Structure 1
Amino acid sequence: MSKATIKQVAREAGISTATVSRVLNDSGYVSDEIKKRVLEAVAKLNYRPSAVARSLKQDKTYMIGIIVPDISNPYFMGISRGIEDVVGPEGFQLLFCSSEENPAKESKQLRLLLEKRVDAIVLATSGGNESVVRGVWEAGVPIVLIDRKLELDNGVRLDLVAEDNVDGAYQLTRKLLQDGYRRIGVVNGPIRVSTGKERYEGVLKAMREFALPWEPLVFNGEFTAEGGSRAVAEFLASDHPPAAIVSLNNRMSLGVLLEIVRHGLRIPDDLAVASFGEVEAGSLLKRPALYYTEQNPNAMGRKTGEILLARIRRELPSAEAAIEIYPGEVKQIQ
């Protein structure tokens, strides 16, 4: 059975295609009697408006692209849910992409979303795609950075919703130092992204405050559970293993906890752990005394959604970037 057209709906209802369009798009005055005839014709013919045609006419697709390193990470899921809570009621749908911390894959996804004519893009960058991001910005597509910063040339600043990474990592490390730990191992992600650089900067800031004469033991991997597991295995195999570990990402922290348990060690008796971001599995341990930086991804997502709508509706000055930085409070699982 061939798909019904708007002309067939107009013929069935005995009116013009323009009037049918006004009813379907809820634009302009149409009497209740005419609306009834149009809706009856639509139901009878099983007419489905073309989303592509409508988007071309309205210059909107009502699609927002989301690129994150790991869509299974509860942190990014929380941000995405917050975004959806704000933009969903306004008719927007989210199109998700997972870059897997791969800059080449992220670059392809940015180009794909541009080809799909999304109305805006949310990006937690894996780094290295400044020229592609700038191309998206120059094409007039609003792009909001989440979690991670990105520096573009010529003074271009993008909208950003992120955490205070330096202070969060500083406060986290400071807690361990206040508890008397001195030999600290740091599990960090790639330093090509701002979170890796800034959180490590916060660790060093705390160590300088306590006038420690040495650098911490550092493992730089990826922001994955596997990375956290490898870090612990490497630390424990070293000549001078750490007494405490600062893990600068919640996914890595999960790997850290699993590897410590695999080695039959107890937290914090054998090895203390502090995590940037809460690890749900931590509450399953007996008396873990696990420090963590509390995050609020849902609030960050809602703020991101508000910025997206304001950009799409051109309610914000184009020359000014909207910047929202969230502080992190250090807490402890007892």
Structure 2
Amino acid sequence: MGNITIKDVAKESGVSTASISRVLNESGYVSNETKARVLAAVKKLNYQPNAIARSLKQDKTNTIGVVVPDIANPYFMKIAKAIEDTVSNSGYNLIFCSFDEDSEKERELLTVMYEKRVDAIVLATSGESEDIVASAGIPIVLLDRKMEIESQQLDYVIEDNIQAAYGLTKTLLEQGHRQIGVVNGSLKVSTGWERYEGYKQAMQEYRLKEDLQFAYQGNFAQQDGCLAVDYFLSLDKKPTAILSFNNTMSFGVILELRRRGYNIPEDMVVASYGEVEAAQLLDNPQIIYVKQEPYEMGLKVGKIIMHRLQKRKKIIQETFIPQIHLYGSR
């Protein structure tokens, strides 16, 4: 049998299409007898309602787009899980995609989300899509990274990157390190320049000049951490510690150091903005790290989305303050 339509269900059940719509959409009154006849016909014919047509009529799709740089990153995976846990009870489903720190791909994905008529978007931006976000016409909640749009405020859930990076750097300075190799992410996004700013503030507090020789500019990818180690170990004056400003780059740093036979922290101290779960597999995982709260951030994002979808006007801007930890410590 070809595609079953609502007219086929009406013929089978002897019920009007209007009554069938009320049964399937759970809207309006129908008798129990009518409801039973409709559901029996739906089951017999294996009728699948047209979701597109239904969304056009209801002016919503019950879908939320989640656009992040790297969906394979455990940090974003945990955030996404918390968002899903929050909104699923209200009948919403998530559509995930990642743009690999490519601003053009981000813009394309946002356009696709609009075309799919998602009801809201969660965005961890590359920092170069202000115009397309400004003209969205649907709720957008910024995640992890801020964006400035003239005459328009956006909801966001972020971390205090400056303070956390400052604390991470100060921990290394207090240990006596003065030659600190810094692996930074893109300075086009708030997480990149804010974390680097936190590093500079700690250096200035210790009256130390920023040494660009010890700064490697990456793009938040694992390969950046590997290449940074290659670069730092090629210097005549090598760093005594490597400070990496996201967990994915930190994993690359650890991998490359281990490939080269370096023990952590005996041969090289490593500090990471964000937990590197694989580091726990090391014999003595003495890695300093900023402990993030991705699941808690995702719960907050989910609540803001529901707040927006319920047409509430108050702007919500939440900042988490991560703490410095050491693997193996409590």
- What is the TM-score with the length of structure 2 in the denominator? 0.96
Q: Deviations over 1:268-301 (max 9, x none)?
A: 1221111000001211222232111111111111
Letter in 2 for 1:223: F
What residue number does 2:98 align with? 98
Q: Of 241, 246, 263, which residue of structure 2 is paired with 1:244?
A: 241
Q: CA deviation at 1:213?
A: 3.6
What residue number does 1:5 align with? 5
What residue number does 1:185 align with? 181
Q: CA deviation at 1:193?
A: 0.5
What residue number does 1:175 align with? 171
User: What percentage of residue pairs aligned between the two structures are identical?
Assistant: 52
Q: Aligned equivalents of 2:6 and 2:132: distance in 1?
A: 39
Letter in 1 for 2:274: G
**1:176-325 aligned within 5 A:** 176-215=172-211, 217-314=214-311, 316-317=312-313, 320-325=314-319
Contact (CA 8 Å) 2:226, 2:252: kept in 1 or not?
Answer: yes
Q: CA deviation at 1:14?
A: 2.1
Q: Aligned equivalents of 1:269 and 1:12: distance in 2?
A: 77
What residue number does 1:109 align with? 109
Deviates more, 1:231-240 or 1:248-257: 231-240
**Tell me, what secondary structure is at the counterpart of 1:97?**
strand
Q: Deviations over 1:247-273 (max 9, x none)?
A: 000000000001111221111122111
Q: CA deviation at 1:214?
A: 4.2
Q: CA deviation at 1:158?
A: 1.1
**Tell me, what secondary structure is at the counterpart of 1:84?**
helix
What residue number does 2:321 align with? 327
Q: CA deviation at 1:221?
A: 1.1
Q: Deviations over 1:87-118 (max 9, x none)?
A: 11222111111101000111111111111111
**Tell me, what secondary structure is at the counterpart of 2:242?**
strand
Aligned-residue Cα RMSD (Å) equals: 1.2
**1:46-85 aligned within 5 A:** 46-85=46-85
Unmatched runs of 5 consecutive residues or more in structure 2? none
4+ residue segments displaced more than 6 Å? none
Contact (CA 8 Å) 2:75, 2:294: kept in 1 or not?
Answer: yes
- What is the TM-score with the length of structure 1 in the denominator? 0.95
Q: Aligned equivalents of 1:270 and 1:32: distance in 2?
A: 75
Contact (CA 8 Å) 2:274, 2:290: kept in 1 or not?
Answer: yes
Unmatched runs of 5 consecutive residues or more in structure 1? none
Deviates more, 1:127-136 or 1:218-227: 127-136
Q: Aligned equivalents of 2:42 and 2:175: distance in 1?
A: 70
Q: Aligned equivalents of 1:295 and 1:194: distance in 2?
A: 16
Q: Deviations over 1:59-94 (max 9, x none)?
A: 011111111111111001011101110111222111
Q: Aligned equivalents of 2:260 and 2:61: distance in 1?
A: 52
Q: CA deviation at 1:6?
A: 1.5
**Tell me, what secondary structure is at the counterpart of 1:65?**
strand
Contact (CA 8 Å) 2:200, 2:210: kept in 1 or not?
Answer: no
